[in-house]
Amino acid sequence: MMNKEWVETLRALRVMPVIQIEDAKDAVQLAQVLNDNGLPAAEITFRSEAAAESIRLIREAFPDLILCAGTVLTPAQVDQAVEAGADFIVSPGLNPTTVKYCLEKGIKIIPGVNSPSQVEQALELGLTALKFFPAEASGGISMLKSLTGPYGNIQLMPTGGIKPANLMEYLAIPQVIACGGTWIAPTEAIRDNDWETIARNVRATCELIKG
């Protein structure tokens, strides 16, 4: 279960950089750029073979960085992520097998939901911190507001289609603790080692959040 301390940690961040690293050799430099420019956090997605090794290298170099594993689909990936040093797990959907596995082992997980039925399934499992995914494709702000009407006690991390132009509208919803940000460190920029572009994205995002 996501405890209050972790919810508040995410709420203080406001944005979680969602990152796909194709080559683990780029992981530490990327974490350095995020940390130095004001966003000491990363969700490393299991969309590439380099995910677990990237998490391990980042954790060794930055013990205090808020580090989670994203796009986790199976208990085996949960084990890989936790062994590598991930603080918590994020999944695109609500797979009861994976969620129960995490709960049994005391591992924090934020599963993805985008409908009332999925929210109720999460609540039945004892979870209130959830990922709203894919946010824009699932109805965006209006759908999010509709969900938080009957389920006022949930805490949400919308991800998918969120960008600087609509970020603050999402963050204005009280139940939104943070937004997943894929725009901050695009895969192409990481592949090209274009650290200055990523640094600019981080700084611009931090300035936007601070108003």
Q: How many other C-beta atoms lie within 10 A of the C-beta of residue 196?
A: 10
Residue carrying the six token digits 């600087």? 164
- The amino acid occupying position 120 is E
For the question of residue 108 being annotated catalytic, the response is no
Instruction: Find the catalytic residue in 22, 131, 163, 188.
Output: 131
The Cα 111–Cα 106 span in angstroms is: 15
DSSP notation for 147-207: HHTT-TT-EEEEBSS--HHHHHHHHTSTTB--EEESSSS-HHHHHTT-HHHHHHHHHHHHH
Q: Is position 145 annotated as part of the catalytic site?
A: no
Of the listed 4, 8, 43, 108, which one is catalytic? 43
Catalytic residue list: 43, 131
